Structure 1
Amino acid sequence: MATKNILSRTAQRLLSCRSITLTSKKHSSLWTSDNTVKSPHKDVDIPNRTVPEHIWENMERWADKTAMVCALTNRSYTYHQLYKYSRNFAAKLRTQLKIRDGDVVCIMMPNSPDYAIAALGALEAGAEVTTVNPIYTPYEVERQITQSDPKILIGVAETVPILKDALFLAKKDIPIIAVKQDGEVLPQNTISFQEFAQADHVDHSVLKEVARNSEDVAFLPYSSGTTGLPKGVELVHRNIVVNCIQQDVDSVRHYVETTKYNQDVTLGILPFYHIYGQSVVMWHKLSVGYKIVTLPKFQPDTFIETLKNHKINLFCAAPPLILFLGTHPGIKEEHLASMKTITSGAAPLPRNDVCKVLDKVKHNMDFLQIYGLTEVSPLATAMLPGSNDYSKAGYGVSNTELRIADKDLRPLGPNEMGELLIRGPQVMKGYRNNPEATRAAISEDGWFRTGDLANIDENGIVTICDRLKELIKVKGYQVPPAELENVLKGHPGILDAAVLGIPDARMGEVPKAFIVLKDGCKLDANDVTSFVAERVAVYKRIKDVMFLDALPKNPSGKILKRVLKEKYC
């Protein structure tokens, strides 16, 4: 009975939220004769400009407003300062470190106001930006450095030692720029970020040499795609810019316009190295004049304190953060009092988790599911503001076509389940130096294969059902089994290995390893987990180990993971 009452109150709140009018198309007409599903939102023009040009387009309207502020230190930059310091940084990269158009700059930092300066500065210098998880091990960083071939590394005091170890493993000598916080000593053999960004009398004329356009690669995040080891995703400037503009369309927009008298506030806790935090939170919100409050990592006390002190209006989240909001006794109505909208993406969200959050809220608030992938910059679908169904991923955003396909890529109809395909201007250029993977992911006529199992109803609304791909989702983070299998097979005593995701009440899924030892070798589970723990980030660590005499395989030698799952999971 208690649950029914909660659901009733939740539904009433959601139903009373504002409703949004779409284009004149009737929902049924979103389906075409060839079973393609159109977006109900009006198409947007795709401008020929770079990401920095888009960020600064309307800056004069909010130049003196705070752009970013650190929740821990209160260190902040106005939009004018962000513009000035990023251009300073860009000019120094060109003159002192000889960065040229198309060079790669690698950033390994936690969230902070300096992150935007580093990334925007690199782009304004003509470079491409590749981002690294700041909790990665030297082995993981070495692989990305080797693949992306950066000319400059940017880190903080905590990540500089990891970067140096990764360079040693990669047998490379690359300059490291260090962002120094108050009271810190500049790490040895590094270049001061502040001396570049906050220098006086910088000659910006060198930036006139930069010749980048909307079709040039801007970002090179790494994703596992549908399966396998991480691959460099080539996102051109146009991809990011159009994905920002797709979020500005009136029928999908979930923010209030920044004016002289109003500035909404969002929380930058989703990591900026990840495309959701970088593109949806940082780039888009800077382009519309938001104040972004940054937190370098999730810690319950500082997270709660930040909600209390900064009156957050928009909260972009992943399911673990939603679960925390709903279940932690320290989160009360006062912490959510300013919240107008919560969006959730990155992994499926249980209905009860939403209800627990909304039951703490004493005002009308939107709670919206969104869906996307690194390869689509990332936003592909979103529920409408005012929706009362947060179990669905929503409609395709502007200029976006969707399709459900069977295993032979034949289009399916309404309410039929198959793989979700996406076509639109936000789809990546391809995987860096990997034409085979690109061909496997994007068809000749531009359809991107998501690897996600979904259906689209007769009204054009998407529901994500399951994953076709083998990725393990640990608290919303993607863990590719192939990466862990690669690490395991590097152990001198392991002959063969397979990794699967198994359900976990707290983490969603956790990796479980199935190990075949070499003849005469003796290992226990702790030996295996310790070996892996030294080589991967915490969320990728093996949580369970099973030793087998052999792994089940088909005649071609492919491991039958379905058999492992049915028999042992």
Structure 2
Amino acid sequence: MPSESTYPNLPIPDVDLWAFLFERKDRPYGDDKVIYFDPYTKRSYTYAQVRDAAINFGKGLKALWDWQKGDVLALYTPNCIDTPAITWGCHWAGGILSPANPNYTVEELVFQLKDSGAKGLVTQMPYIKNAQEAAKTVGIPLDRVVVMGDQKDPSYQVKHFTSIVNTAGSSKWRRTKATNPAEDLAFLVYSSGTTGHPKGVMLTHRNIVANTMMIKAAEAGRLQPTGGPTGEGDKLLAFLPFFHIYGLTCLIHQSLYTGLQLVVMPKFDLEDFCKFIQELKITFAYVVPPIVLLLSKHPSVSKYDLTSIRMMNSGAAPLTRELVEAVHSRLKIPVKQGYGLSETSPTTHTQPWEDWDKTIGSVGKLLPYQTAKYMSPEEEEMSVGEVGELWIKGPNVFKGYLNNPDGTAHAKTADGYFKTGDVGYQDKDGNFFITDRVKELIKYKGFQVPPAELEGILVAHPKINDVAVIGVYSKDEATELPRAYVVPKDGLGKTDQDAKEIVDWLTAKVAHHKRLRGGVRWVDEIPKSVSGKILRRMLKVKAQEEEEGKVKAKL
């Protein structure tokens, strides 16, 4: 039987995001509560300022751009405290927001603009050249490419978003409501596929409303708008990218709904991260495993007082017991784990605060309103403790992939389950475990080897700073062999002897089929996405190039 949540089912309002956030009657904090704060410029938005800026921007879209229901606005920018006002201004005007990675090349941005059908683009001055070039390519008028943030165009040729405010006859503009919150799109986020172009994930208003309520039920009053070390309530440090669903829902939406102050960093910087925690008394942080790794090993961390942190929540990639224990041993900071995907808006599971140390390695319990099951490759349901692919059903599951009916049909079943592509199991107490991606499992002579499991063990080696494991095909053995790409700690000599030491060290800790038969290779860094996922395909290309180099050398 599929598993169901044991969390309380808080009612999901049948409204669009604007009504959910700005027309509610039960808001537990006042209009003057500071929600978004820039620690570099000290600029901030209160609840009322976000609401008013969003309304004005929405009116400006209708007045100046003839904005229609269902039109798409793209964002191409790092984190900025202006992002929420622009997001909900777009929704106020009936639009759909599509955030793009600011590290995209022109060609990558062109794909998303074209695929989403974007009618306008918001960026920041350092990215304006790429933004304008991509806009020209897809036919977006340059007067619909605007900037936000603190930098403005000194020549005034590029408008700042604050100028898109309809000041004349503003009373005639009215909010465009979502006709059907369960069908009308709020976001088009693009998930990075392992091959080919990213897929446009269609998320409805109800998807995000439901997930925000699911997160609220799971946190069960743990995060509060008042109290704490400063009296200002809980403060969250936000460096996770807002263009990624993790940052979009868990940071931007949760902070406004619950009344938490979000301290916004444009990107991660370890020294600033630690400094802001110390100076601003940050109490909670959403993180990813590479950050947990840094906190466990980097010498700079010891210079700061991080004791205001009550809890960290890690997501986006598997987190191992070794890392959780290393951080707690060093800093006494508990780290719980959650799980989600772009297609699930994102959060589907999280560890309860009180159980973080009892079920280390688990992604926690299933959040409300969902059912889940683990399935075999033959699509038969697995029993408790048996490994399979996780399938999830609930109001947070996406509508489908944009312009990709085949992809949608492959990912969703006729009865509404989403096939996550993640492999794992659940225990008898309803704790879920994710061991790896279906496509990333290494097949050694019929045995399945989860790379994340080996990485979790290897990163605990005192001479390893970071590591990634992939499968490399051996013609001699006609099978894949696990290989580790290692970033060595200072002092490890990158010799064959050092590599053998690591291989032997792991051999003593794992089953026979999980040994590093593909050896160890030394690298300066592990390629990762902005959300912390290891980009194994890049390492596979590297492995292939190494193999081709050997063949040429023999010739």
TM-score, with length taken from structure 2 = 0.77
Which residue, out of 63, 66, 71, partners 2:31? 63
1:137/1:66 Cα in 2 relative to 1: closer, same or farther (>3 Å)? same
CA contact (8 A) 1:104 1:152 kept: yes
Please name the residue that 2:163 is paired with.
195
CA contact (8 A) 2:223 2:234 kept: yes
Please name the residue that 2:336 is paired with.
368
Alignment of 1:214-229 (within 5 A): 214-215=181-182, 216-224=184-192, 228-229=196-197
Please name the residue that 1:283 is paired with.
253
Find the aligned partners of 1:174 and 1:446 in 2 and give their Cα distance.
41
Please name the residue that 1:113 is paired with.
81
Paired AA for residue 47 in structure 2:
Y
Alignment of 1:227-246 (within 5 A): 228-246=196-214
Find the aligned partners of 2:172 and 2:222 in 1 and give their Cα distance.
36
Please name the residue that 1:206 is paired with.
173
Which string of whole-angstrom CA distances, capped at 9 and with x for unpartnered residues, describes residues 129-187 of structure 1?
10001111111101111100101100000121111122344355354443354464357
Alignment of 1:123-134 (within 5 A): 123-134=91-102
Identity percentage over the alignment?
Answer: 30
1:278/1:186 Cα in 2 relative to 1: closer, same or farther (>3 Å)? farther
- SS of the residue corresponding to residue 301 of structure 2 reads coil
Find the aligned partners of 1:205 and 1:366 in 2 and give their Cα distance.
52
Pair 1:48 & 2:14 matched? yes
CA contact (8 A) 1:393 1:463 kept: yes
Which string of whole-angstrom CA distances, capped at 9 and with x for unpartnered residues, describes residues 196-226 of structure 1?
36x7677254124545441210000011468
Alignment of 1:440-519 (within 5 A): 440-469=410-439, 503-506=484-487
CA contact (8 A) 1:234 1:429 kept: yes
Which string of whole-angstrom CA distances, capped at 9 and with x for unpartnered residues, describes residues 22-69 of structure 1?
xxxxxxxxxxxxx21111112232211111222222457321111101
Find the aligned partners of 1:549 and 1:382 in 2 and give their Cα distance.
41
1:60/1:452 Cα in 2 relative to 1: closer, same or farther (>3 Å)? closer
1:132/1:503 Cα in 2 relative to 1: closer, same or farther (>3 Å)? farther
Higher mean C-alpha displacement, 86-95 vs 209-218? 209-218
Give the C-alpha shift of residue 451 in structure 1: 0.3
Find the aligned partners of 2:297 and 2:311 in 1 and give their Cα distance.
19
Please name the residue that 2:281 is paired with.
311
1:133/1:202 Cα in 2 relative to 1: closer, same or farther (>3 Å)? farther
Alignment of 1:281-430 (within 5 A): 281-332=251-302, 334-362=304-332, 366-387=334-355, 388=357, 389-430=359-400
Find the aligned partners of 1:326 and 1:548 in 2 and give their Cα distance.
32
1:412/1:258 Cα in 2 relative to 1: closer, same or farther (>3 Å)? same
Give the C-alpha shift of residue 275 in structure 1: 0.2
Which string of whole-angstrom CA distances, capped at 9 and with x for unpartnered residues, describes residues 209-249 of structure 1?
54544121000001146864311111000000010001112
CA contact (8 A) 1:226 1:470 kept: no
CA contact (8 A) 2:424 2:435 kept: yes
CA contact (8 A) 2:245 2:342 kept: yes
CA contact (8 A) 1:218 1:236 kept: yes
Give the C-alpha shift of residue 294 in structure 1: 0.3
Paired AA for residue 357 in structure 1:
V
1:180/1:417 Cα in 2 relative to 1: closer, same or farther (>3 Å)? closer
Which residue, out of 225, 231, 255, partners 1:258? 225
Structure 1: which 5+ residue stretches go unaligned? 1-34, 476-480, 482-499, 508-537, 551-569
Please name the residue that 1:150 is paired with.
118
Please name the residue that 2:491 is paired with.
none
Find the aligned partners of 2:219 and 2:348 in 1 and give their Cα distance.
12
1:330/1:224 Cα in 2 relative to 1: closer, same or farther (>3 Å)? closer
Find the aligned partners of 1:348 and 1:55 in 2 and give their Cα distance.
32
CA contact (8 A) 1:91 1:204 kept: no
1:404/1:165 Cα in 2 relative to 1: closer, same or farther (>3 Å)? same
Pair 1:37 & 2:35 matched? no
CA contact (8 A) 2:277 2:309 kept: no
Give the C-alpha shift of residue 102 in structure 1: 0.4
Which residue, out of 399, 405, 408, partners 1:438? 408
Paired AA for residue 166 in structure 1:
A
Find the aligned partners of 1:172 and 1:503 in 2 and give their Cα distance.
45
CA contact (8 A) 1:177 1:192 kept: no
Find the aligned partners of 2:76 and 2:301 in 1 and give their Cα distance.
31
Higher mean C-alpha displacement, 398-407 vs 181-190? 181-190
- SS of the residue corresponding to residue 159 of structure 1 reads helix
1:506/1:267 Cα in 2 relative to 1: closer, same or farther (>3 Å)? farther
CA contact (8 A) 1:106 1:131 kept: yes
Paired AA for residue 442 in structure 1:
K
Find the aligned partners of 1:430 and 1:150 in 2 and give their Cα distance.
18
CA contact (8 A) 2:64 2:164 kept: no
Paired AA for residue 54 in structure 1:
F
Structure 2: which 5+ residue stretches go unaligned? 442-450, 457-469, 471-480, 489-532, 549-555
TM-score, with length taken from structure 1 = 0.75
CA contact (8 A) 1:416 1:455 kept: yes
Give the C-alpha shift of residue 189 in structure 1: 4.0
Find the aligned partners of 1:146 and 1:159 in 2 and give their Cα distance.
18
Give the C-alpha shift of residue 190 in structure 1: 2.5
Find the aligned partners of 2:375 and 2:194 in 1 and give their Cα distance.
15
Please name the residue that 2:240 is paired with.
270
Alignment of 1:83-102 (within 5 A): 83-102=51-70
- SS of the residue corresponding to residue 144 of structure 1 reads helix
Which string of whole-angstrom CA distances, capped at 9 and with x for unpartnered residues, describes residues 427-453 of structure 1?
001111211111100100011000011
Question: Larger RCO: Structure 1 or Structure 2 (Cα < 8 Å, ≥ 6 residues apart)?
Answer: 1
CA contact (8 A) 1:372 1:379 kept: yes
Find the aligned partners of 1:339 and 1:333 in 2 and give their Cα distance.
15
- SS of the residue corresponding to residue 214 of structure 1 reads coil
